[in-house]
């Protein structure tokens, strides 16, 4: 059957819920000369013939993530006369480290950033032996409306944000910080996670959070590394219809999982061997560095 020419039908506005692994991207926002999530997504749309440029398609994102940050439910939106083609083919055009998990047909003027009700992030701590109950109690100090200047890079924006929920819980062997708000400042969740790590390791108490919310910057604090952060959910006043992961994406995720499982065992063995050789008990370095983590 011959496809209808795009001039014969009005464009349809789509919202696509997507996941991605951020360690091979220079952030989500399009930038010249580097690999980004938006850049790969738009390139896939162009190859599929959904629009001639991101401006024509009014391509927009629910938010930005930094280099190394992952997403379970980022939302991209664009307009196209070929919405059925988009749903059928786009997952196959995307690289394996980006995948679509759901979609919705929206109103023509839909803006995924401005119309989001809330955003939820999770931060996964790799450190062992953290005091999860103490971190959970401290995390609840964030709930409410506060000036988060001491927990973010404000850069001229209004530092006041309302945190709707905040908790810390155990997920298998890892400690997880989950926080939900209408919007976040740059690095806000990573600064919050860094403070909670200090509390969980016993070097600080809840006063660290309370004092910084009151504007006290006497204690130096750096943002936690990006690789533990996941954009977990973006909430709207409509549901997303699910899209099943294709075999290629499942195989890619399985391959990455196997690799990191193997590397965990290799690093444990090498660390333990070095400790035995040097005659020192095994210990874990606690602290953040600026080196690349694969």
Which of 16-25, 93-102, 179-188, 264-273 comes out lowest in average pLDDT?
Answer: 264-273
Percent of the chain with pLDDT over 90: 84
- Asked if 112 and 238 count as a contact pair (C-beta separation under 8 A), the reply is no
Whether the pTM exceeds 0.85: the reply is: yes
pLDDT at 1 over 50: no
If residue 213 lies in a helix (H) or strand (E), which one and from where to where?
Answer: helix 207-213
Region 42-52: mean pLDDT is 97
Region 193-206: mean pLDDT is 97
**Where are the domains positioned within the chain?**
9-115, 118-233
Q: Note the pLDDT of residue 280.
A: 55
Catalogue the active-site residues.
66
Q: What is the mean pLDDT of the chain?
A: 92
Query: What does the block give as tokens for 217?
Result: 């910057």
pLDDT at 221 over 60: yes
pLDDT at 287 over 70: no
Which of 81-85, 120-124, 281-285 comes out lowest in average pLDDT?
Answer: 281-285
- Which of the listed CATH numbers 3.40.50.720, 3.30.70.580, 3.40.190.10, 2.60.40.10 matches domain 9-115? 3.30.70.580
Q: Note the pLDDT of residue 259.
A: 95
- Which of the listed CATH numbers 3.90.1150.10, 3.30.70.660, 2.40.340.10, 3.40.50.300 matches domain 118-233? 3.30.70.660
- Choose among 146, 133, 126, 148: nearest CA to 199: 133
Note whether 9-115 and 118-233 share their fold.
yes
3-state secondary structure of 12: strand
């Amino acid at each position: 059957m011959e496809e209808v020419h795009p001039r014969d039908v009005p464009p349809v506005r789509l919202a696509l819920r997507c996941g991605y692994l951020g360690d091979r991207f220079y952030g989500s926002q399009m930038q010249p000369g580097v690999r980004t999530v938006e850049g790969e997504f738009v390139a896939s749309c162009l190859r599929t013939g959904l629009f001639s440029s991101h401006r024509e398609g009014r391509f927009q994102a629910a938010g930005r993530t930094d280099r190394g940050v992952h997403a379970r439910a980022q939302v991209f939106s664009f307009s196209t006369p070929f919405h059925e083609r988009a749903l059928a083919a786009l997952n196959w055009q995307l690289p394996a480290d980006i995948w679509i998990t759901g979609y919705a047909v929206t109103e023509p003027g839909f803006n995924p950033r401005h119309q989001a009700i809330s955003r939820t992030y999770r931060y996964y701590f790799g450190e062992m032996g953290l005091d999860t109950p103490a971190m959970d109690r401290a995390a609840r100090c964030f709930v409410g409306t506060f000036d988060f200047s001491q927990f973010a890079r404000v850069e001229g924006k209004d530092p006041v944000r309302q945190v709707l929920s905040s908790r810390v819980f155990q997920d298998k062997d890892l400690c997880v910080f989950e926080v939900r708000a209408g919007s976040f400042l740059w690095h806000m969740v990573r600064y919050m996670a860094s403070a909670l790590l200090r509390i969980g390791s016993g070097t600080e108490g809840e006063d660290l959070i309370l004092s910084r919310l009151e504007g006290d910057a006497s204690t130096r604090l750096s943002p936690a590394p990006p690789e533990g952060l996941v954009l977990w959910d973006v909430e709207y006043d409509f549901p997303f219809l699910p899209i099943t992961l294709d075999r290629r994406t499942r195989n890619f995720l399985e391959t990455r999982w196997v690799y990191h499982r193997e590397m965990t065992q290799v690093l444990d063995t090498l660390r333990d061997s070095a400790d035995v050789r040097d005659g020192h008990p095994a210990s874990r370095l606690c602290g953040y560095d600026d080196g690349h983590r694969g």
